[in-house]
Amino acid sequence: MSSVTPGTTGSTVPDEPDARVPESGELFAPVGPGVELCYQTFGDPDGDPLLLVMGLGGPMTWWPTSLCRLLAEQGFFVIRFDNRDTGRSSRLTGRVTRSMVVRAFLGRPVRAPYTLDDLAADAFGLLDHLGLPAAHVFGVSMGGMIVQTMAITAPERVRSMTTMMSTTGKRTVGWQHPALFPMLLAPRGTEREVYVEASVRGSSRIGSPGYPEPEESARRRAEETFDRGLNPAGVLRQMLAILTQPDRSARLRSLRMPVLVVHGLADKMVHVSGGRATSRSVPGSELLLVHGLGHDLPTELHETLARAVRRTADRT
């Protein structure tokens, strides 16, 4: 196990064009019946493929462009995408009420419109579209749950796995701070300014106390998220997929690819017990705990993350 302390590593990387890192515009890939994913790539297509999988309600633009470029400079062909029901990817159907979410949160049986297995199948479909038989994968939050599911389902297609601020699905670990649940269920509004202000407040509540994000940065991200398209019903469908996920602990023990588990010691959205449990479940995994890190991707840690993902990939 290793740790990172605020102020000891990383540097600010501006989101400015870099001629050394070619990047595509937004592209679209059919990945299954009724599902088309919006995606973007960075770096040399002959590099090591690295699939970035975002969390609940997060479009691909929540992967900072500066981090994508740093990963490309590490020799990766980086692919980020909107999960189904997010951003510009396909919007699914299936009504989910807030009472259904509450029942699932309490452990009562609820039928979800789709599961984490379906989201993992979407990701594999994107790799198929790109002609990639296997890739390194890096998932955050719900994305960490998805990449864990990918590794369990088709280990031959996952060259290495980085799972960050995520958990195993076991209900006794990786819990949320109770004060956050009303925020997650509260509507953020369909007017641009209302949504942006609510998002900025939410980011400050779950962000990193050791790496505070400037308000202007959170505001720009919220504005871009709104402009790319909101799907509140889709967020509830994704939330239900999370709340009805199975406990993967036993199946994670079968993994043999290199695995890095990253978690913040100040994460209120997914308690650090989720990261510790994930690392304990995967033989030979590396656990990187970060002091002052909450539930976000601070600029100051981008270089640390890029090097750690590269180090994990090199263990393949």
What is the pLDDT, as a whole number, of residue 296? 98
What is the pLDDT, as a whole number, of residue 82? 98
Of 91, 100, 79, 93, the C-alpha closest to 27 is 79
Half-sphere exposure of 300 (CA within 13 A, CB side): 18
Counting beta carbons within 10 angstroms of the beta carbon of residue 204, is it exposed (0 to 12), middle (13 to 18) or buried (19 or more)? middle
Query: CB-based contacts of 217: which residues, under 8 Å, 6+ apart?
Result: none
Query: Taking the chain, what is the end-to-end CA distance rounded to the nearest angstrom?
Result: 19
Instruction: Note whether residue 270 is domain-resident.
Output: yes
What beta strand segments (E) does 82-201 contain? 135-140, 158-164
Confidence of residue 181 (pLDDT cuts 50, 70, 90): confident
CA distance 84 to 90: 5
pLDDT, one tens digit per residue, over 193-216 is 999 999 999 999 999 999 999 999
Instruction: Note whether residue 206 is domain-resident.
Output: no
Contacts of 33-38 spanning 24+ positions with Cβ under 8 A: 34/90, 34/92, 35/84, 35/89, 35/90, 35/92, 35/122, 35/125, 36/89, 36/90, 37/81, 37/82, 37/83, 37/84, 37/89, 37/90, 37/122, 37/125, 37/126, 38/81, 38/82, 38/87, 38/88, 38/89
Note whether 214 and 300 are within 8 A (CB): no
What is the pLDDT, as a whole number, of residue 6? 65
The total of structural domains in the chain comes to 1
Of 242, 166, 229, 296, the C-alpha closest to 38 is 229
CA distance 279 to 260: 8
State yes or no: pLDDT of 9 exceeds 70: no
Q: Residue 205, SS3?
A: helix
Go through the chain and tell me how many residues it has: 316
CA distance 41 to 223: 22
CATH code of the domain in which 166 resides:
3.40.50.1820
pTM: 0.94
Instruction: Note whether residue 205 is domain-resident.
Output: no
Instruction: Note whether residue 189 is domain-resident.
Output: no
Find the domain containing 109 and state its range: 2-178+231-313
Q: In which element (H, E) is residue 49 found? A: strand 48-53
What is the pLDDT, as a whole number, of residue 282? 98
Share of the chain above pLDDT 70, in %: 95
Query: CB-based contacts of 5: which residues, under 8 Å, 6+ apart?
Result: 291, 292
pLDDT, one tens digit per residue, over 215-251 is 999 999 999 999 999 999 999 999 999 999 999 999 9
Instruction: Note whether residue 70 is domain-resident.
Output: yes
